[in-house]
Amino acid sequence: MRSGERRAIAEAATLLEALRPGARELVTALGDYLGQALVVGFTGPPGAGKSTLVNAVVAELRRRGQTVAVIAVDPSSPVSGGAILGDRVRMTAASGDNGVFVRSLASRGSLGGLSPAAVRVIDALDGAGFDVVLLETVGTGQSEIDVAEIADVRVVIAAPGLGDDIQAMKSGHLEIADIVVVNKADLPGASITRAQLEAALAMRVGGHGIPVLTTSALQGSGIAELVTAVDRVGKERLAAGVVARRRRRARYLIARAAADLVARRIKEGGPAVLDALADEVLAGAQTPEGAAGMLLTRL
Ligand SMILES: Nc1nc2c(ncn2[C@@H]2O[C@H](COP(=O)(O)OP(=O)(O)OP(=O)(O)O)[C@@H](O)[C@H]2O)c(=O)[nH]1
Ligand SMILES: [Mg+2]
């Protein structure tokens, strides 16, 4: 795996994704190599052009001599009927280019199932020594936002004409953005969307330094500028150190596993525990929030 053998990398990714026997030993063995890759998360509303943009970014990174791994969560949302990221990157990357590796993950959807797996696969690709790991997540749902937080650099993508989605972005993803991109700049309305996002960022604490770039992933414009911006933020983030990055991933995995554990225990505990607490709430002896605290102690 460390010498770049693709089959070994693929096997390692599967081992960690599915938490097969040996996963823990593998992470331990990789320990010294972990935390080196720059993880870049691309998030944004369905159909904004995330997959197309990631694909263009892969090509630009390769031009700059960086090795790139891509975690593609396909199929893409039914909303856009858009590009399948994994296939696209495979088509773009010259065949035989060992500097690009694509890992497709099974479709998201099952609550809590995918995101921790995606984070573990980051470990595999990081451990394999890729310079950059790119990750596409749809910016809906807390778990996707969590994964975006695992990234060292968060790129939030918008597109003109997304209307309500822009409103949602203002309250949601803009919070986590290091770089904002208005993709589909070849379409009318891009400059209006950009102005709206700049205005929203100006009101955000710490939002002043956040660049709002325009790209056309389809025509290839603005991609070099985007990669340069990612590089600039990435250099700062990598300076934070390997341990800090690994700790962030570990914290995320622990928190998600704990949430899953609680959900399972509640289910396994049967309705009895919940019913008793519900009666206390109905009797006014407990608030639902207080009862939640009690529930945790009874599981
Ligand atoms: N005009 C124009 N269309 C674009 C551009 N980038 C992507 N598209 C198109 O927009 C559609 C959606 O693109 P995707 O890359 O699949 O978007 P996505 O955000 O990954 O979509 P989901 O994964 O489904 O959320 C496709 O038809 C793309 O060809 C662009 O820069 N300009
Ligand atoms: Mg996509």
pLDDT at 106: 66
Nearest ligand 1 atom, CA 44 = 19
Tell me the backbone φ, ψ of residue 104, rounded to 5 degrees.
-90, 135
22: number of Cβ within 10 Å: 12
| Packing angle of the helix pair 23-30, 114-127 (nearest 10 deg) | 40
Which helix (H) or strand (E) segment holds residue 135: the answer is: strand 132-138
Average pLDDT of the residues of the chain: 86
pLDDT digits (tens, 9 = 90+) for 105-156: 765 544 445 678 888 999 999 999 999 999 987 666 666 667 777 899 999 9
pLDDT at 227: 98
Closest CA to 57 of 179, 144, 142, 192: 179
pLDDT at 46: 80
pLDDT digits (tens, 9 = 90+) for 232-245: 999 999 998 888 88
For ligand 1, the distance from its centroid to the CA atom of residue 52, given in whole angstroms, is 6
DSSP state letter for 216: B
Mean pLDDT, range 166-183, rounded to an integer:
81
- Better-scored residue on pLDDT, 77 or 180: 180
pLDDT at 181: 96
Mean pLDDT, range 245-262, rounded to an integer:
88
For residue 32, the number of C-alpha atoms closer than 13 Å in the C-beta half-sphere is 2
- Is 47 a pocket residue for ligand 1 (Cβ < 6 Å)? yes
pLDDT at 161: 81
pTM for this one?
Answer: 0.88
Please report which residue ranges of the chain form alpha helices under DSSP H: 6-17, 23-30, 50-63, 85-92, 114-127, 142-150, 164-171, 190-203, 223-239, 242-268, 270-282, 288-298
Q: Compute the distance between CA of residue 298 and CA of residue 252 in angstroms, rounded to an integer.
A: 25
Most confident of 58-67, 113-122, 198-207: 58-67
- Is 216 a pocket residue for ligand 1 (Cβ < 6 Å)? yes
Mutation pick for ligand 1 pocket among 54, 80, 157 (CB with most ligand atoms within 8 Å)? 80
pLDDT at 80: 47
pLDDT at 36: 93
Is 234 in contact with 153 (CB distance < 8 Å)?
yes
Mutation pick for ligand 1 pocket among 43, 52, 57, 136 (CB with most ligand atoms within 8 Å)? 52
Residue 83 confidence class, pLDDT cut points 50, 70, 90? low
Q: Is the dihedral of CA 14, 18, 21, 24 positive or negative?
A: positive
Ligand positioned closest to the Cα atom of 190: 1
Which helix (H) or strand (E) segment holds residue 156: the answer is: strand 153-158
Question: Whose structure tokens read 């008793």?
Answer: 276
